[in-house]
């Protein structure tokens, strides 16, 4: 393996192994983590929304790329992916040391068409102030995963990743071309990366579409990138497994943080719950 290659494991790798590789390289590929059938179903669920979306309009959003979010509200397969046990084990190891609960941060489909340029290389934790990163430089804040809904190849725009960039102390430094790798991987695989790892959508030089689905997790006390409460309001979230309800935010972060009318937000999801039973004080 070359120095800037993305490490990879199979779907049977332990959360401990994946975590170790992720901490070392800032990114890791888990091959065939879900079946081809799951990916086909996910794409079928999201296609009606993708077909209605306009193309991007700049070098970041692309010019031949369509995007759709609110995935857990729109696809049963997306709910299963959000609860992937290996990835949640990784989040337990990397995020829970710095929070009581972590949240589903973002769900987002990226459908890159033929002829698309390479996306601007960026860090996903850049949505938060630099003063925050300066104050807590070694804290893991985000664990994101780009799922291969279709096969990711060098030609069709496999995600660009910069192994080791999560350790760069100078956050203004941009990667050199020789430091950029690509996450070539079979359909149903996932490229995990930390919030501080440089990455971006690849250039699509093929005649086919490259479709990926982003599922990201964050420290529970950070503002979620995607507003999960609007994407999954109570009338939708009440149909989810309780573990997923908690992941999107229908639980207090800690005593006195995240309540509704002095009660747990789960009160909004249960027909048999009473404010008296679920009050905080």
Task: Please return the burial class of 257, using the count of CB atoms within 10 Å of its CB with bins 0-12, 13-18 and 19+.
Answer: exposed
Rounded to whole angstroms, the Cα distance separating 36 from 40 reads 6
Assess whether pLDDT exceeds 50 at residue 241.
Answer: yes
C-alpha–C-alpha distance, residues 54 and 70, integer Å: 17
Burial of 271 per CB tally in 10 Å (0-12, 13-18, 19+): exposed
pLDDT of residue 1: 46
pLDDT at 92 over 90: yes
Residues with Cβ < 8 Å from 244, sequence gap 6 or more?
72, 79, 82, 83, 104
What's 8-227's CATH class?
mainly beta
Where are the chain's structural domains? 8-227
pLDDT value of position 3: 56
Query: pTM score, two decimals?
Result: 0.93
Tens-digit pLDDT profile for residues 123-154: 999 999 998 898 888 899 999 999 999 999 99
pLDDT tens string 247-275: 999 888 877 788 787 778 888 887 765 55
Which of 266 and 242 is assigned the larger pLDDT?
Answer: 242
pLDDT of 100 above 80: yes
Average pLDDT over residues 197-220: 97
Is pLDDT at 166 greater than 80 in this prediction?
Answer: yes
């Amino acid at each position: 393996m070359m120095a800037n290659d993305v490490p990879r494991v199979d779907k049977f790798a332990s959360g401990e192994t994946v975590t170790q590789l992720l901490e070392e390289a800032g990114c890791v590929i888990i091959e065939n983590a879900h079946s081809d059938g799951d990916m086909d179903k996910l794409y079928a669920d999201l296609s009606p929304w993708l077909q209605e979306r306009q193309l991007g309009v700049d070098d970041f959003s692309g010019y031949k790329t369509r995007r759709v979010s609110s995935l857990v509200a729109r696809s049963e397969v997306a709910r299963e992916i959000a609860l992937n046990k290996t990835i949640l084990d990784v989040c337990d190891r990397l995020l829970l040391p710095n929070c009581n609960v972590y949240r589903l941060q973002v769900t987002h489909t990226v459908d890159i068409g033929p002829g698309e340029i390479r996306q601007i290389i960026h860090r996903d934790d850049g949505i938060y102030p630099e003063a925050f990163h300066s104050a807590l430089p070694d804290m893991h804040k985000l664990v994101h995963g780009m799922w291969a809904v279709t096969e990711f190849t060098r030609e069709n725009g496999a995600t660009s990743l910069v192994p080791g960039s999560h350790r760069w102390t100078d956050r203004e430094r941009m990667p050199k071309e020789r430091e950029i790798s690509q996450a070539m991987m079979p359909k149903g695989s996932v490229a995990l990366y930390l919030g501080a790892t440089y990455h971006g959508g690849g250039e699509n030089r093929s005649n086919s579409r490259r479709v990926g689905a982003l599922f990201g997790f964050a420290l529970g006390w950070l503002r979620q990138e995607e507003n999960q409460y609007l994407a999954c309001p109570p009338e939708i979230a009440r149909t989810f497994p309780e573990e997923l309800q908690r992941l999107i935010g229908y639980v207090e972060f800690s005593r006195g943080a995240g309540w509704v009318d002095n009660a747990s937000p789960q009160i909004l999801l249960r027909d048999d719950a009473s404010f008296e039973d679920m009050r905080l004080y």
